Amino acid sequence: MSKKATIREAINSALDEALRTSAQVFLLGEDLADPAAGVNAVTRGLALEHGHDRVLNTPISEAAIVGAAVGASLEGMLPVAEIMIMDFIGIAMDQIVNHAAKLRYMSAGRTTSPITVRAVVLEGSGAGGTHSQSLEGWFMHIPGLKVVYPSTPADAKGLLLSSIFDPDPVLFMEASRLYGKRGPMPTEDGFRIPIGKADVKRQGRDITIVTYGPATWEALEAAEALSAEGIEAEVVDLRTLLPLDLETVLASVAKTRRAVVAHHAVTFGGPGAEVASQITEALFNELVEPVVRVGAKFSPIPARASEAAVTLGTGDIVAAVKKVAGAVRV
């Protein structure tokens, strides 16, 4: 069974189910507990339902939040830590990169750190240069870590539950601009989406748009606009950035023979560079045109209305597809 829900409601539903499913699960972060329930109200009602000992307010210290989560995980707990604004995740970089992600390796497989770090991306909110960055590319460099970035309510619920009960650390990214996005959400307990599996959100024959997170919605809008001009784009939503589902990506591009990679992270050195490289190495002889990347400009993000000048928009994807598509019948 399913119902219409927002991504905010889907994440809340996943957290509620996780807390009901296992006594080892607990949440920690800034202002998570009721009545505040976080700045985005994602955890509303969970402290009242499950107790303030399982939905914990913390000091304003990302290092303490993630450090406490890592320590608790070593004692058999399943912590879900929230970084209220992803721009501040650098303060917890040592805990994530040099502790949580390394414990399995450093202990020869005897110890893992099954933490989930929920990181909220405010890009698109006009919040300025230190509150608006999409930094997933940083963490794609880290063996031992998984990176997830869903775009729909069903994906958010299924992937968050998979993340919480995964034996290794997971960075679960949430775009604040998508919290109000509505779509079908399974309501039964036990719904999961496997980490590391992409999803074809739209079928097409002429070109593949590889994307994830909020850019998925712009890619779908672009695909509809392009369809009116006779270009049928396939949209592949990666959903997970680490590990990458290259099998699904390559199968799509092998069919269309053209690809654009779109994301809200900075284009230079961004996740699209890795995806484009993998496509080119695997399908060099099949590609009609080189793979093109579109994303944010290499610039600090300005506040308010000026933000749109440097971030990804639907028009950027349309322009990139037209550049690559050329004569679509070739």
- Is 62 considered catalytic here? yes
Can you read off the two tokens belonging to residue 142?
């880290």
Q: Specify whether 99 is catalytic.
A: no
Determine which one of 9, 17, 30, 62 is catalytic: 62
Is residue 15 within 8 Å of 160, Cβ to Cβ? yes
**Alpha-carbon distance 30 to 8, whole Å?**
17
9, 30, 123, 131: the active-site residue: 131
What does the block give as tokens for 287?
């590609």
Token pair listed for 229: 């001009």
Q: Which residues contact 85 (CB under 8 A, 6 or more apart)?
A: 120, 122, 131
Determine how many CB atoms are found less than 10 A away from the CB of residue 129. Answer: 13
Cβ atoms within 10 A of the Cβ of 285, count? Answer: 5
Any idea which residues carry the catalytic annotation? Answer: 62, 131
